[in-house]
Amino acid sequence: MPYQLDNRPADLRERMYFPEIIRGIGTVTAHFLRNLFFTRDANPDILERPRGLGKSDNVTMFYPEEKAPYPPGYRGLHRLVPREDGKARCVACYMCATACPAQCIYIEAGEYPDDPVEKYPVKFVIDELRCVVCGFCVEACPKDAIRMDTGEHAPPSYERGAQWLDEKALLRGPSVNYQNDPWLRRAAPGIPADLLAQMKANATPFHTTATDEYAQTPGFSVRALAAEAKARAGRGAR
């Protein structure tokens, strides 16, 4: 049912505006006195905020002393996933930079001096001010080398350059190793023999339903997602 619009011309009382002005002043005064004499409500959830006489409507948080909890689905800033030997899993394939719709990833590739086959990012910079937090870089990475699981937001700064996170700031968090990592399946001159044996022992087995290395990321499986889509399509056909 469409809304019924009142298009009548304003009467004398409405044209004088005094009743609405007085009502507005009363509303502002009531909020001022309530926030002046009653305690501040620190609960940021507006739905659970207590209301009534003796309750303050002021819910301003004293940031950064008080911080609102992030929702469980918040992913946070990027990080470059390290291997157990401290190097980045990134092989500088440029797939994340290619998939990025905001073009906020800059990569310079280099080769390890003792391993002419493997590449690594000499420079890996993400402009967090341009990032739209879409997660396409995480999905495009074939080596599970970049994740958004920090639960942190970009820190405030007065300069734009402070929002350019390089490979030194991004390389952090728990290390990840998979049994099918190329540096574990072949001779790796840059990794000592004892550390290489330890990395192989601690490597995560290849997922039984995975189709690539990225599919080994916890909670993700190409075939499982395809099966779920097929099941939904079957239910819709009925």
Q: Which CATH architecture has domain 79-223?
A: 2-Layer Sandwich (3.30)
Instruction: Say what the pLDDT of residue 56 is.
Output: 63
| Residue range 146-152: mean pLDDT, rounded | 86
Instruction: Say what the pLDDT of residue 10 is.
Output: 78
Instruction: Say what the pLDDT of residue 84 is.
Output: 85
Measure the CA–CA gap between 122 and 108, rounded to whole angstroms: 5
| Residue range 160-178: mean pLDDT, rounded | 90
Instruction: Say what the pLDDT of residue 76 is.
Output: 84
What mean pLDDT, rounded, does the chain reach? 79
pTM of model > 0.85: no
Q: Is the pLDDT of residue 216 over 50?
A: no
Q: Is the pLDDT of residue 199 over 50?
A: yes
pLDDT digits (tens, 9 = 90+) for 58-108: 666 777 777 777 776 777 889 999 988 888 999 999 999 999 999 999 999
20-33 as b/e: b if 16+ CB within 10 A: eeeeeeeeeeeeee
Measure the CA–CA gap between 163 and 140, rounded to whole angstroms: 23
Domain ranges of the chain: 10-69, 79-223
Q: Encoding tokens for residue 104?
A: 């906020």
CB 44 within 8 A of CB 60: no
Instruction: Say what the pLDDT of residue 98 is.
Output: 94
Instruction: Say what the pLDDT of residue 1 is.
Output: 47
Instruction: Say what the pLDDT of residue 195 is.
Output: 85
Instruction: Say what the pLDDT of residue 58 is.
Output: 62
